[in-house]
């Protein structure tokens, strides 16, 4: 018998942490370590896969620095091509200045979403962002301050989130796709 342990930046996705070698030399169960934390990832790694279903109490945590005075986006992608949460942080983009915009995309269409203020980003200044999941809503926090609650769409539950995509004017220095509150 043995115990499966994964490096701190990985998670064992099969749920079994005890493995046993059988008489024929094969393993009764095997560990399956998948990456959940990226440090200083180049933007070319996006989207990144979420190794386990996202559920209440789990979050996506990101550290980065805005690099352009337009916008940057964090999308929680489903396996069907929909977006469970579209978070667009706008310095000056699409007629919006210094606000962030939360929305979702279902069957190829955005819904109109909701705009939020105050705006808490500055080009060139590092930040820490958390998207926390409850049973019914996403909570958006920067640092330790909660700035918004946005409801899940019934047809886009967090458990359907398969990847995180981060695009446009931001340098991501750390991403943890299954951090805890």
Instruction: Mark whether 64 and 108 lie in a shared domain.
Output: yes
The residue range of the domain holding 160 is: 37-180
Same domain, 117 and 151: yes
Q: What is the number of structural domains in the chain?
A: 2
Asked if residue 66 and residue 155 are part of one domain, the reply reads yes
Looking at residue 43, its pLDDT comes to 57
Do 23 and 78 reside in the same domain of the chain?
no
Q: Looking at the structure, tell me whether residues 25 and 65 fall in a common domain.
A: no
pLDDT at res. 115: 92
- Residues 27 and 74 reside in one and the same domain: no
CA pair distance 53, 79, nearest whole angstrom: 11
Asked if 18 and 67 sit in the same domain, the reply is no
Do 68 and 92 fall within a single domain?
Answer: yes
pLDDT of residue 2: 63
Provide the pLDDT for residue 66.
94
Statement to judge: residues 12 and 90 lie in one domain:
no
Note whether 29 and 91 are same-domain residues: no
What CATH number is attached to the domain comprising 137?
A: 2.60.120.200
pTM of the entire predicted model: 0.84
Q: Rounded distance, CA 82 to CA 140, Å?
A: 20
The contacts of residue 74 (CB under 8 Å, 6+ apart) are 60, 62, 85, 87, 89, 129, 131, 164, 165, 166
Q: Are residues 5 and 63 in the same domain?
A: no
CB-CB contact of 37 with 144 (8 Å): no
Q: Say how many residues make up the chain.
A: 181
Question: pLDDT tens per residue, the chain (181 residues)?
Answer: 666 677 777 877 766 566 677 777 777 776 677 777 777 765 567 888 888 877 787 789 999 999 999 999 999 999 889 999 999 999 998 888 999 999 999 999 998 889 999 998 999 999 999 999 888 999 999 988 889 999 999 898 888 999 999 998 999 998 888 887 5
Predicted local confidence at residue 41, as pLDDT: 64
Q: Please indicate, yes or no, whether residues 132 and 146 belong to a single structural domain of this protein.
A: yes
């Amino acid at each position: 018998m043995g115990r499966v342990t994964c490096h701190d930046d990985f998670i064992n996705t099969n749920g079994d942490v005890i493995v046993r070698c059988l008489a024929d030399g094969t393993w009764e169960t095997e560990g399956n370590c998948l990456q959940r934390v990226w440090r200083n990832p180049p933007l070319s790694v996006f989207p990144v896969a979420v190794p386990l279903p996202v559920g209440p109490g789990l979050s996506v945590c990101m550290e980065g620095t805005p690099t352009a005075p337009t916008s940057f986006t964090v999308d929680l992608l489903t396996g069907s091509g929909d977006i469970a949460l579209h978070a667009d942080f706008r310095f000056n983009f699409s007629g919006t200045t210094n606000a962030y915009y939360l929305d979702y995309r279902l069957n190829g269409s955005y819904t109109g979403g909701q705009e939020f203020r105050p705006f808490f980003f500055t080009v060139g200044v590092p930040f820490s962002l958390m998207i926390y999941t409850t049973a019914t809503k996403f909570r958006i926090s920067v640092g330790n301050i909660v700035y918004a609650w946005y409801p899940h769409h019934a047809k886009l539950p967090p458990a359907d989130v398969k990847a995180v995509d981060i695009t446009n004017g931001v340098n991501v220095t750390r991403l943890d796709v299954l951090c805890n509150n």
